[in-house]
Amino acid sequence: MRAFRISDPDHIKDEIDHLTSVFKNIGYKEWSITKAIRRAQDRALSEHPPGDKKENQGRVYLPFIQGVTDKIAKILRKKNIHTQFTTCGTVRQMMRSVKDHIDRQQLKGVYKIDCSCGKSYIGETGRSLKIRIKEHAADIKNERSRTSALAEHSSKTNHHVCLEDAKVIAREDNYQKRKIREAIEIIKCPQNLNRDNGSEISGNWLPMINQINPRTLEAQDQK
């Protein structure tokens, strides 16, 4: 916002390019930088539109407190001073999140794909979910029913397989653990499209698996 206020028209582009470069170097995404610059530019134009005769009018920024700062604004207006109200920031707004942004399309582990008929497919992948979904999409498109349970189901029923809503339900890097978790998820999802139950799990474990609360598993995945 400050750049738009103090920079003259001949140098505003250089200033924006400089700011973009600085924010990229400290880790901000390009789309985020562009959005912030556009917002600041729109705000500057709304305050001082082209040809605005009040461009030299004084300006103050005050937090909006009903019954207090609105009355102050009226007094300042008589002195040709414009008041810009701001919201009072909360502690949550001032504290930066310590969590890194996670691109869920890049996760690997056990995933779930729903079908419009209500059934689901459970799978596992050691690569990203994005890559695995592309493979499923190619199987369905080319009707590879012999090698793909999803392609077979789609071909026979003409149901919509919701690949766009696919999600990783358990993150796991270790192959053996991933196969076991896949088998557990298949057991807990009887309405599945899988051709087999994945890794063989002893029947002695079934009563315990069936008693597991799904929220317990989700909590474990968040750790």
Q: What is the pLDDT of residues 166-191, one digit of tens each?
A: 999 999 899 999 998 999 899 888 89
User: Are 124 and 176 contained in the same domain?
Assistant: yes
User: Are 145 and 178 contained in the same domain?
Assistant: yes
Among 21-25, 39-43, 135-139, 147-151, whose mean pLDDT is lowest? 39-43
What's the rounded mean pLDDT across residues 30-43? 77
User: Are 128 and 156 contained in the same domain?
Assistant: yes
d(CA 153, CA 160): 10
Is residue 94 a part of any domain in this protein? no
Is residue 96 a part of any domain in this protein? no
Query: Which two tokens mark 185?
Result: 């998820």
User: Are 16 and 41 contained in the same domain?
Assistant: yes
pTM for this entry: 0.50
Q: Is the pLDDT of residue 2 over 80?
A: no
Counting Cβ atoms within 10 Å, is residue 161 exposed (0-12), middle (13-18) or buried (19+)?
A: buried
Residue-wise burial string across 5-36, b where 16 or more C-beta atoms lie within 10 A, e elsewhere: eeeeeeeeeeebeebbeebeeeeeeeeebeee
**Ordered alpha helix ranges (H), the chain:** 2-6, 12-25, 30-47, 69-78, 91-94, 129-141, 149-157, 175-187, 206-211, 214-222
Is residue 172 a part of any domain in this protein? yes
Is residue 97 a part of any domain in this protein? no
Chain segment 67-120, per-residue pLDDT in tens = 888 888 888 888 888 888 776 666 666 666 666 567 788 899 999 999 999 999
Contact call for residues 209 and 144 (beta carbons, < 8 A): no
Q: How many H helices and E strands in the chain?
A: 10, 5
Is residue 115 a part of any domain in this protein? yes
| Max avg pLDDT among 20-24, 56-60, 215-219 | 20-24
Is residue 99 a part of any domain in this protein? no
Percent of the chain having pLDDT more than 90? 33
Domain that holds residue 7: 1-52
